[in-house]
């Protein structure tokens, strides 16, 4: 017996009539489960009490994750691949992963009333490709889903994800280091990003992670990114980009890369900045990468719209 494929519909978001999209689905991996609420045991109980309590916790957690009458489903996970920043004419795919099979998924763009719809009877992931990205595709997206059999049972909406379109007509900025000859462990470093255009918002890029500036030129033609105390994790390749204030979902292409060398580090000692990402704060806007495990560092990770947090002193 053949498998039943997904059925889809695409809402018009101001896209070109020639554009067409093909939707498909697959049984994706579950990206993390809901947390389990612990079950306490008596301190005077037998030695097996903690084991029994732990087993009961697992069973209760599994029970809580199962859909029940009148219960809303857990929110799906949404992400963009290969990157949330894409050049005009490039291609990206927005994926929405739910927790259960036999669901109908809805991709919603902020400011547009009509969602794209995809029915996924045999998997847990809906894919919404954009084969040729235009300026109108830039924006903030969320997704949700409901049961195919019971359409009144909906999930919570996903967290938002942004698509940033690399616009033509925005030249690459210039990036430089100060001091330019490298820095010793514990020293201070400033990374400058400049462009001969006023009113821009800048962001520093490092291995698909994005950071806001510490200081900006009042005219909006440059920004400074400070690292007050350099560690080995700060070594690596950096670039920067900017956005016009009038088009928050359009970005320049990144600058040429610059290499930050930390004096005294051996082979393989340089590591990326922690998985700390910032998005859409006043003064600068930057896309988020997909959620990754974090580590200790000097910038706070945000997965939503939050105030600008500079690198600490």
CB atoms within 10 A of CB 27: 11
What pLDDT was estimated at residue 242? 92
CA dist., res. 306 & res. 313, Å (int): 20
Residue 50 three-state SS: helix
- Whether residues 161 and 177 share a domain: the answer is no
Whether residue 141 is predicted with pLDDT greater than 80 in this model: the reply is yes
Q: Which is it for strands 85-87 and 161-166: parallel, antiparallel or unpaired?
A: parallel
Q: In this structure, is residue 276 part of a structural domain? A: yes
What pLDDT was estimated at residue 214? 79
pLDDT band with cut points at 50, 70 and 90 for residue 6: low
Whether residue 312 is predicted with pLDDT greater than 50 in this model: the reply is no
- Whether residues 214 and 229 share a domain: the answer is yes
- Whether residues 193 and 263 share a domain: the answer is yes
- Whether residues 132 and 259 share a domain: the answer is no
pTM over cut 0.85: no
CA dist., res. 117 & res. 22, Å (int): 12
- Whether residues 309 and 189 share a domain: the answer is yes
- Per-residue pLDDT, averaged over 256-261, amounts to 94
Q: Among candidates 137, 128, 127, which has minimal Cα distance to 89? A: 137
- Whether residues 123 and 202 share a domain: the answer is no
pLDDT band with cut points at 50, 70 and 90 for residue 7: low
Assigned token pair, 209? 């992670």
- Whether residues 159 and 192 share a domain: the answer is no
Q: What average pLDDT does the chain have?
A: 71
CB atoms within 10 A of CB 227: 20
- Whether residues 159 and 194 share a domain: the answer is no
Total domains, the chain: 2
pLDDT band with cut points at 50, 70 and 90 for residue 13: low
What pLDDT was estimated at residue 265? 52
Q: In this structure, is residue 35 part of a structural domain? A: no
Pick the last residue of a domain from 166, 196, 224: 166
Pick the last residue of a domain from 166, 194, 228: 166
- Whether residues 180 and 254 share a domain: the answer is yes
Whether residue 118 is predicted with pLDDT greater than 90 in this model: the reply is yes
Query: Which of 29-33, 56-60, 86-90, 216-220 is modeled with the greatest confidence?
Result: 86-90
CATH number of the domain at 153, please: 2.60.40.10
Whole-angstrom distance between the N-terminal and C-terminal Cα of the chain? Answer: 64
Q: Among candidates 235, 302, 305, which has minimal Cα distance to 264? A: 235
pLDDT tens column, 76-90 = 999 999 988 898 999
Q: In this structure, is residue 10 part of a structural domain? A: no
Q: How far is CA 122 from CA 27, 69, 94, 273, in A?
A: 7, 22, 19, 39
Using the Cα atoms of residue 178, residue 182, residue 188 and residue 193 in order, give the sign of their dihedral: positive
- Whether residues 310 and 238 share a domain: the answer is yes
- Whether residues 233 and 134 share a domain: the answer is no
Q: In this structure, is residue 52 part of a structural domain? A: no
Pick the last residue of a domain from 128, 150, 166: 166
Q: In this structure, is residue 14 part of a structural domain? A: no
Range of 231's domain? 169-313
What pLDDT was estimated at residue 60? 39
pLDDT tens column, 215-258 = 888 777 899 999 999 999 999 999 999 998 888 899 998 899 99
């Amino acid at each position: 017996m053949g498998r039943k494929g997904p059925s889809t519909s695409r809402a018009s978001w101001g896209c070109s009539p020639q554009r067409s999209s093909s939707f498909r689905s697959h049984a994706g991996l579950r990206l993390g489960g809901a947390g389990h609420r612990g079950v306490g045991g008596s301190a005077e109980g037998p030695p097996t009490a903690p084991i029994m309590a732990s087993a009961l916790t697992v069973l209760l957690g599994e029970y809580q994750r199962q859909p029940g009458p009148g219960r809303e489903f857990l929110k799906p996970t949404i992400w963009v691949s290969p990157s949330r920043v894409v050049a005009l004419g490039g291609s990206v795919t927005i994926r929405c992963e739910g927790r259960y099979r036999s669901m109908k998924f809805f991709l919603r763009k902020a400011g547009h009333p009509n969602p794209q719809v995809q029915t996924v009877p045999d998997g847990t992931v809906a894919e919404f490709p954009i084969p040729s990205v235009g300026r109108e595709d830039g924006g903030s997206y969320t997704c949700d889903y409901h049961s195919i059999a019971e359409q009144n049972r909906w999930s919570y909406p996903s967290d938002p994800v942004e698509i940033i379109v690399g616009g033509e007509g925005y030249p690459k900025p210039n990036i430089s280091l100060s001091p330019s000859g490298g820095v010793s462990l514990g020293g201070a470093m400033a990374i400058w990003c400049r462009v001969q255009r006023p009113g821009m918002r800048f962001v520093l890029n490092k291995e698909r992670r994005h950071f806001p500036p510490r200081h900006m030129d009042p005219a909006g033609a440059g920004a400074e990114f400070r690292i007050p105390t350099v560690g080995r994790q700060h070594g690596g390749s950096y670039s920067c980009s900017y956005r016009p204030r009038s088009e928050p979902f359009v970005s320049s292409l990144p600058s040429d890369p610059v290499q930050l060398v930390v004096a005294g580090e051996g082979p393989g000692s340089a590591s990326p900045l922690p998985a700390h990402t910032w998005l859409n704060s006043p003064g600068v806007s930057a896309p988020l990468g997909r959620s990754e495990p974090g580590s200790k560092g000097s910038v706070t990770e945000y997965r939503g719209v939050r105030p600008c947090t500079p690198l600490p002193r």
